[in-house]
């Protein structure tokens, strides 16, 4: 699955990769080295912590310059990455899907987003009022890392969503709409079957 994420990201314009590893990290690092020796792997000290801690594990390697942040279990077509790269620079830009009737979305698990124009004003899995879904592809810079560090220092969960919320307070969390482009969060056997059915059409088989 992560090989397909790398392939799609590269086709969308990504040029190099840093992967934060956790569970079975040595095995994953060996696989990625065989896939592409230029991929840098950074272990996270405790992969059971919220996902923002994994982001911070790779922050020093990534540096403060603008870069992509992607989830290894979110599959997507290359145009989503291209659109995210092309979006106006901001501390954080999230690729969102405004199709609230998208049949591929698992409403019990998806991260929901509430927007005002191109700005995020709310995000979370249990958000009651929302107008979009989080596709799992971001463009971020060092200001997002700083927001995450501040969340952790204040005793917050340290999730990516918590970092997004912190930036959203000052209008620094933006969105880019993926339109009708295909994406999928693969969390269960049903989603895996949907992904396997789509890959030939996505050109990633």
Q: What is the CATH number of the domain that holds 197?
A: 3.90.550.10
Q: Is pLDDT at 173 greater than 80 in this prediction?
A: yes
pTM of the model: 0.93
Confidence of residue 202 (pLDDT cuts 50, 70, 90): low
Q: What is the pLDDT of residue 116?
A: 98
Q: What is the mean pLDDT of the chain?
A: 94
Q: In whole angstroms, give the CA distance from residue 56 to residue 51.
A: 9
Closest CA relative to residue 184, chosen from 123, 103, 108: 103
Quote the domain boundaries for residue 79: 2-202
For residue range 103-141, what is the model confidence (pLDDT) as tens digits?
Answer: 999 999 999 999 999 999 999 999 999 999 999 999 999
Q: How many other β-carbons are positioned within 10 Å of the β-carbon of residue 1? A: 12
Report CA torsion sign: 84, 45, 37, 200: negative
Under a CB-based contact definition with an 8 Å cutoff, are residues 25 and 41 in contact? yes
Alpha helices per DSSP H over the chain: 2-12, 25-35, 51-62, 78-86, 142-153, 160-168, 189-202
Please tell me the total count of domains within the chain: 1
């Amino acid at each position: 699955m992560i090989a397909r994420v790398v392939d799609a990201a590269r086709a969308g314009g990504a040029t190099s990769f840093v992967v934060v590893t956790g569970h079975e990290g040595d095995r994953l690092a060996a696989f990625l080295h065989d896939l592409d020796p230029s991929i840098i792997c950074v272990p996270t000290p405790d992969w059971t912590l919220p996902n923002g801690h994994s982001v911070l594990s790779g922050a020093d390697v990534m540096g403060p310059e603008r870069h992509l942040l992607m989830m290894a279990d979110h599959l997507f077509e290359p145009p989503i990455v291209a659109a995210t790269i092309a979006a106006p620079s901001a501390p954080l830009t999230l690729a969102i899907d405004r199709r609230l009737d998208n049949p591929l979305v698992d409403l019990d698990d998806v991260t929901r987003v509430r927007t005002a124009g191109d700005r995020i004003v709310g995000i979370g899995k249990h958000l009651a009022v929302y107008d979009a879904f989080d596709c799992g592809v971001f463009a971020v810079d060092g200001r997002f890392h700083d927001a995450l560090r501040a969340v952790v220092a204040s005793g917050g969960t340290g999730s990516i969503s918590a970092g997004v919320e912190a930036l959203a307070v000052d209008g620094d969390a933006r969105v880019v709409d993926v339109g009708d482009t295909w994406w999928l969060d693969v969390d269960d056997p049903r989603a895996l079957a949907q992904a396997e059915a789509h890959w030939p059409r996505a050109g990633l088989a």
